[in-house]
Amino acid sequence: MLLAVDIGNTNITYGLISEVGVVLGTFRITTKMPRTSDEFGMSLMSFLNSLHAEVTDIKDVIISSVVPKIMYAFTNSIRKYLLIEPMIVGPGIKTGISIKTESPKELGADKIVDAAAVYNTYGGNALILDFGTATTYDYIDENGTFLYSCISPGIEISANALWSQAAKLPEVEIQKPATILSKNTINSMQAGIVYGYIGQVEYIIKQFKKELNKPDMKVIATGGLGKIIYKETTMIDVYDPDLVFKGMKVIYDKNKTNE
């Protein structure tokens, strides 16, 4: 089996993937808490135990990371606890995606992994929405070329800004109220946060389709809070929570084949 690790700004997510690409289970821990390699190693062991998997079941490891400062401790945990040298998504690795932005080196590993997953699973001419710490909108064409990107504050960042900057507004759960016609502060905030974010998402999708003249563009969403928005709009075609793991499996297979 393949252990895939997605290190994002908010969470680190482990995914255990079978040889045929089935995601057998996932496990999430926070990124922002400082940890030693042993602490990372123990979280890995807890994940494997929860799936009744053994260390010897893990044949290889691939990591996608946008947080360089924890990579030393994390990669050491893989070496110490799994006795494996992990594959890192980065420069020189084969992805099947051609990048034609102005500054390809600025592109995060998470974007490349998502693009590889979408192109291999759903095909090109696709807009990829990743609802993470930031919400990213990335376009790949029919040939698997990464061309354009748009980045906005994530829904949690937007919500945190609202109650942290307004002294009398409380922290609320991010959920869609039954109606936008709210009569209390909590529902008013929830309505503004969620309905407002739906409006942003729909407008950005429309603008991509308009400026590219691609009305038939596929729209694929992923990321934790994506499921909230996906249920409330007809403009997202697919919500795929395992997109990052599918992308890492694609990239892993391309590089193992070409060793």
pLDDT band at 100 (very low <50, low <70, confident <90, very high): very high
pLDDT in tens, 4-17: 999 998 899 999 99
Q: In this model, does residue 118 exceed pLDDT 80? A: yes
What is the H or E stretch that residue 219 is in? strand 218-222
pTM over 0.75: yes
The per-residue pLDDT for range 72-93, each reduced to its tens digit, is 999 999 999 999 999 999 888 9
pLDDT in the model for residue 192: 92
- Average pLDDT, stretch 205-228? 94
pLDDT at residue number 199: 94
For 177, 179, 180, 197, the CA distances from 184, given in Å and listed in that order, are: 11, 12, 11, 20
- At 144-179, the pLDDT tens digits run 999 999 999 999 899 999 898 888 888 888 888 889
Q: Is the pLDDT of residue 259 over 70?
A: no
What does the DSSP assignment read for 45-76?
A: HHHHHHTT--GGG--EEEEEES-GGGHHHHHH
* Dist. CA 57–CA 60, nearest whole Å: 9
Q: What are the catalytic residues? A: 110
Residue written as token pair 């700004």 = 9
Q: From residue 234, give the alpha-carbon distance in Å to each of 72, 131, 159, 204, 217.
A: 43, 17, 23, 14, 13
- Longest pairwise C-alpha distance within the chain: 62
In the predicted model, is pLDDT for residue 243 greater than 90?
Answer: yes
Q: What is the pLDDT of residue 257?
A: 58
- State pLDDT tens for residues 185-197: 999 999 999 999 9
- CA–CA separation, 102 vs 120, rounded Å? 24
**Cα–Cα distances in Å, from 5 out to 17, 78, 251?**
11, 11, 13
Whether residue 42 has pLDDT greater than 90 = yes
Q: Which amino acid is at 90?
A: G
- Domains annotated for the chain, with CATH where assigned, are 2-88 (3.30.420.40), 98-247 (3.30.420.40)
